[in-house]
Amino acid sequence: MVLAAPGLTWIISTFGWRAAFVTMSVFGLIWVAVWIRFGKDGPAPQLEASEDKTVPRPTVEAGPPVPYRTILATRTWIGSVLAGFAGYWALAIMIAWIPIYFSKVLGFSGSVMGWLVAIPWGFMAVSMIVQGMLSRSLMNRGVSSRITRGAVTSVALLLCGALVFASLAAGPVWLKIVLLSLGLGMSAVTVPIGQALCSEISPPGRNGGVLGAYAAVYSVAGIISPALTGRVLDSAGSVTDGFSQAFVLCGIILIAAGLIAGLLIHPQSDHNRLAKRAEKRSLQRKNASALVLEDR
């Protein structure tokens, strides 16, 4: 996105919008050719969780698996989903409405727009790398996952919400762009952290379903956020007021989710509880099998 936004803007302004579609088609075909030639499964296709050796995994694999309803009712899963929902809410606004905000409210157009749109994506890329390095560094020092993933998620959302609010109060246009781009762009770190948390608490055989349910719920924000923002803009007295109201709503969602996620996410506790549940179900199955054999 950092490369495509200014590049496609230049192509559209020089050759027309159809040329942008042709360009994307060509890149897509090139990628397919490269993938056919070099794409393949990794060395451990059966691995369901992170290779992080500091993350404990349930050891009981015998017996029926823990029900999904039990896993999806854990504090960590719920907190991760709320954090991901808030992060995706901000990301959806960044995709659908930030170009219009830069154009209609801040007054930018043409090739300048392409570079401005790339700024939030650049911040998002940097924040992903920084978050990964920070979490890995903390875990290597023996810090618990509740801090390295739970607290990092909470602090990231609180900071993003504060930055979005600060952008509304900022005077210079360049400061508005930086603060808003940081607030919206950094919110995306909640999604990969949430995926790691889901893998951490998921018992054997349930990782795919738990991750799928996580993605299905948080990504609903991608439907609601742009539509509701559009309604807010339609009902506001002016475009500027509409965007201000939409950003206030986004900031509230980010801060609220950050607070709730910080209170709920506790992967070690949920992991141990699910492991004990798996052991109990395995023992019940063995006892039932023993009774059947005894009756025979």
Three-state DSSP state, 1: coil
62: confidence class by pLDDT, cuts 50, 70, 90: very low
294: confidence class by pLDDT, cuts 50, 70, 90: low
Exposure letters 9-31 (e unless 16+ CB within 10 A, then b) = bebbeeeeeeebeebeeeeeeee
Count how many Cα atoms sit within 13 Å of the Cα of residue 166 in the half-sphere of its side chain: 17
60: confidence class by pLDDT, cuts 50, 70, 90: very low
The residues, any chain, with a CB within 8 Å of residue 70's CB and separated by 6 or more, are: 274, 277
Sign of the Cα pseudo-torsion (48, 51, 55, 58, in order): positive
> pTM surpassing 0.75?
yes
What is the per-residue pLDDT across 17-35, written as a single tens digit (0 to 9) for each? 899 899 999 999 999 999 9
Check residues 86 and 53 and name the one with the higher pLDDT.
86
CB atoms within 10 A of CB 75: 18
68-77, 92-101, 280-289: segment of lowest average pLDDT: 280-289
pLDDT for 44 beyond 70: no
Q: What is the pLDDT of residue 290?
A: 53
* Mean predicted lDDT score pLDDT of the chain: 85
Count how many Cα atoms sit within 13 Å of the Cα of residue 249 in the half-sphere of its side chain: 17
The residues, any chain, with a CB within 8 Å of residue 123's CB and separated by 6 or more, are: 181, 182, 185, 186
Q: What is the pLDDT of residue 110?
A: 75
Q: What is the pLDDT of residue 47?
A: 42
- Are the beta carbons of 74 and 274 closer than 8 angstroms? yes
3-17, 40-54, 107-121: segment of lowest average pLDDT: 40-54
Q: What is the pLDDT of residue 288?
A: 54
* C-alpha 113 chain-centroid distance: 26
pLDDT for 114 beyond 90: no
pLDDT for 50 beyond 50: no
